[in-house]
Amino acid sequence: MFLRKLLCGAALSAMTVFGAANSAHAATFFGPSSYTSLADSPLNTAGLGTSFFVEDFEDGALNTPGITASTGFILNPSAGTDSVDGDDGSIDGSGTGGRTWYSAGSHSVSFFFDALVLGSLPTEVGIVWTDAGFASPVNGIGDVVFEAFDNNNVSLGSITGINLGDGTFFGGTDEDRFFGVQNVAGISRITLSMPGSDDWEMDHVQFGLGGKAVVPEPASCALLGLGALMLIGRPRRRTA
Ligand SMILES: [Ca+2]
Ligand SMILES: [Ca+2]
Ligand SMILES: [Ca+2]
């Protein structure tokens, strides 16, 4: 909350403040780590309380406010579905009773976070890779790359899980892996990729609003720095 107040007190220099903060504090990446339920998340799930959200797809829709996906669709429970283990009510080594987000023929899937809907960009984001099907050179196995992007859509870096997978097309959960990132200036996008497969699943897109990210148009600050806030809230104009 401190930086939010700082923004109110010095709104005219807000762009500079957060630009400097973003470059001065490197993002922190987490994973790949084992994950069978939200309890395994290394993010600040408890500390953020009602400011932490998880999209587990179990209601059959990607409908957590503020998230959109570049491509893909939901897989319903089936022998070939590989949800996070606990989503079917039992951590028992199987994810076939839950739902996931499917890559649907793409090597990369991005999730975008909308600061205008959320009030600010999330300061921490995670996702769980749960399965590969057809893959090269070995079905069911492959490298998984997680990349995150800041409030200016500049890459914060990436981490790679090498040869993830159990080699099957089914719903085993031992190989499921969490990837995440924290960045105080905000995260606008994450991308999960499998260079060797376009037939893979992910689950538990999760994010926390830590109150320190870029705030597009905080009403309480409106009279303190209208000019700077207009710059933050507006799309940039291109003159070329
Ligand atoms: Ca299960
Ligand atoms: Ca699920
Ligand atoms: Ca799995």
In whole angstroms, what is the distance from residue 240 CA to residue 234 CA? 18
* Predicted structure pTM score: 0.80
For the domain made up of 27-214, give the CATH fold: Jelly Rolls (2.60.120)
Between the CA of 73 and the centroid of ligand 1 the distance, in Å, is 21
What is the pLDDT at residue 170? Answer: 86
Provide the residue ranges of all domains of the chain, joining segments of one domain with +: 27-214
What local confidence, expressed as pLDDT, does residue 87 receive? 98
Residues with CB under 5 A from ligand 3 (ion): 82, 130-131, 173, 176
- Using the mean position of ligand 1's atoms as its centre, give its distance from the Cα of residue 172 in Å: 9
Ligand 2 (single-atom ion) residues, CB below 5 Å:
56-57, 83, 87, 98-99, 203
Q: Which ligand is nearest to the CA of 130?
A: 3
CA 169/CA 139 separation, integer angstroms = 8
Task: Please return the burial class of 1, using the count of CB atoms within 10 Å of its CB with bins 0-12, 13-18 and 19+.
Answer: exposed
**Interval 20-71: pLDDT, tens:** 334 446 899 999 999 999 999 999 998 899 999 999 999 999 999 999 999 9
Low-confidence ranges of the chain (pLDDT < 70): 1-25, 214-240
